Amino acid sequence: MNVHPMDHIPVRPMKFDFSQNQVADPLWSRTNPEFSMFINALGIHVPHFERFLVKTMRAYRSEVKDEKLLGEVQALIGQEAHHAFNFVKWTAKMAEKYPGLSALDAGAQNYFANAFAKKDKKFHIGFTAGYETFTFLGGMIILNRYEELMQEADPTIRALWVWHQVEEVEHGGVAFDFFKANYPDSEGYRRYMVLYAFLHICWETFKAYRLMLKGESRYLRFKNKVRAWKFFASFAWDLAHAALPVFSRSYHPRNHPICNAEQNPIAVAWREFYRQDNDVLTLDDNKMAGILKV
């Protein structure tokens, strides 16, 4: 099939319910609790970046002449606005359990607000492209390792992350193309911003992960704490390793080795399930088995 996950970028309005009767435990993946904590920690600053992205795209889209790219930018704005809305709500829910999380959330919000107010256009667009490198790659890694990371999981938060990762892959080339449209001869700066974004993501995730680790009694035991930090390091390494092709001069997200026309089967099945007007706001084990026809 001559189909690529980036060929179509639909905007899917979603409003997840994170109330107590829906989500009992922030460590929502029974298959891999450390993944739960890692992705929760990553998700603290993600919505503030997503709002930074939306502001950046709206500020400079009038300067782009490519009609196809403009259409993709508009779809990207729609997808990311819905992502940010839901992740802000999930952070607020997690803050009920983890003291200090609200302060980290406010710090992330202030960072992106200041970055937009004080940095220039090239930083805005470059940082957006650099950061989107890792949301796209993270999307592919998580979907490809679904069974290892969240085969048994809370239905609501699993649904949140499957939706998010599917869409991050769909729009994974837009920020790159937007940067190239504005700065076609700035390969060195693009690569620099990939590194800058990676370090920023790791540091922000580290701070939240450390805070959550202290709030979970199971990680008071030394061996559990070691296992948790080992997972953190291994996933950060996986992101870094997956980013190596990004530094090639001929690179484009569409041609990344882990993103191609074969597509991830979970993403393909989820899109079809959604297209048939099924409820994707919760994905319990039976529903996932039906989606995947296993």
Per the structure, how many domains does the chain have?
A: 1
Average pLDDT of 232-258?
A: 94
pTM over 0.75, yes/no: yes
What is the arithmetic mean of pLDDT over 222-231? 97
Q: Give the Cα separation of 162 and 46 in Å (integer).
A: 15
Mean pLDDT of the region 51-80: 95
- The residues, ordered by sequence, that sit 6+ positions from 292 with a Cβ below 8 Å of its Cβ are 265, 266, 269
pLDDT tens digits, one per residue of 68-102:
999 999 999 999 999 999 999 999 999 999 999 99
Domain assignment present for 199: yes
Q: Which amino acid is at 138?
A: G
d(CA 203, CA 5): 30
* Residue type at 37 in one-letter notation: M
- Answer whether residue 203 is part of any domain: yes
Q: What is the mean pLDDT of the chain?
A: 94
> Looking at the predicted structure, is the pLDDT value of residue 294 above 60?
no
Residue 263 pLDDT level (bands cut at 50, 70, 90)? confident
| Mean pLDDT, rounded, for 89-116 | 96
Could you tell me the two tokens for 14?
């979603």
Q: d(Cα 21, Cα 133) in Å, to the nearest integer?
A: 35
| Per-residue confidence (pLDDT) for residue 21, from 0 to 100 | 67
**Does residue 7 lie within any of the structural domains?**
no
Residue 19 lies in a domain: no
In terms of Cα–Cα distance, which of 95, 116, 5 is closest to 43? Answer: 95
Report whether pLDDT(24) > 80.
no
Identify the three-state secondary structure at position 173. Answer: coil
Rounded to whole angstroms, how far apart are CA atoms 189 and 195? 10
- Rounded distance between C-alpha atoms, residue 204 and residue 217, angstroms: 22
Tens-digit pLDDT profile for residues 149-206: 999 999 999 999 999 999 999 999 999 999 999 999 999 999 999 999 999 999 999 9
Q: Is residue 177 part of a domain?
A: yes
Q: For residue 1, tell me if it sits in a domain.
A: no
Residue 202 structural domain: 33-292
